[in-house]
Structure 1
Amino acid sequence: MEPVRTCVGCRTRAPRSALIRVVAQDLRLVVDERGSLPGRGAWLHPDRECAENALRRRAFGRALRVSGPLDTQTLEKRLNGYGNKVNGSK
């Protein structure tokens, strides 16, 4: 049986394979491609809507137990690139 995780954006449960793991490194959100980076991880559907919901609700700070503002540029770049790969657009 595959592990189930909760998306920090939409708060729905999904199989681990359907979500991406995000960790904080030096107050910067980084997508954990292999799932092996140290520290706490937050799970997120790989779409823009869930990421925007999580950022609006400040869910990453709570899930990762980080105080202070987080740099989201690398996460946004990764999600934009992921959407292009999946949809084949642009």
Structure 2
Amino acid sequence: MRQVPPTPRRGRLDSRGRAVPQRTCVGCRARTAKTELLRLVVVEGVIVPDTDGRLPGRGAHLHPALECLELAERRRAFPRAFRLAGPLDAGPVRARLAATAARQQDG
């Protein structure tokens, strides 16, 4: 019986040689490690950050930067990513990213 060699894994590996999950930012469309992105979900028509990654529903990932949020809104990427029709309120995400940016500038 002929053995087939294992196919190499694509993507990045951590220090232990394990694959690191990759996700695509809905704003800039760059593939990045899942740990570097902010997971977002929709709760009653409002996009909210899911910091623990435990909220139910379809998730979308975004770099924690206002530039990526603005790009995603300009491209109308959120309704496509969440597979929902109509406008979605990104206010809580914008507030969190603005607070994070202000904290980084202060210290």
Specify the TM-score bucket, using the shorter chain as the normaliser. Answer: over 0.9
Matched ranges for 1:7-86 at <5 A: 7-85=25-103
Alignment match, 1:89: 106
Higher-Rg structure is 2
Structure 1 SS opposite 2:106: coil
| Structure with higher RCO (Cα < 8 A, 6+ apart) | 1
How far did residue 84 of structure 1 move? Answer: 2.2
- Cα shift readout 1:22-69 (whole Å, capped 9, x = no counterpart): 111111000001001000001000001000000011101100111111
Q: CA deviation at 1:88?
A: 3.6
Q: What percentage of aligned pairs have identical amino acids?
A: 47
Poorly superposed stretches of 4+, deviation over 4 Å: none
Separation (CA, whole Å) in 1 of partners of 2:78 and 2:100? 19
The structural deviation recorded for 1:72 is 1.4
Equivalent residue of 1:43, what SS?
A: strand
TM-score w.r.t. length of structure 2 = 0.79
Q: Which runs of 5+ in 1 are unaligned?
A: none
TM-score normalised per structure 1: 0.93
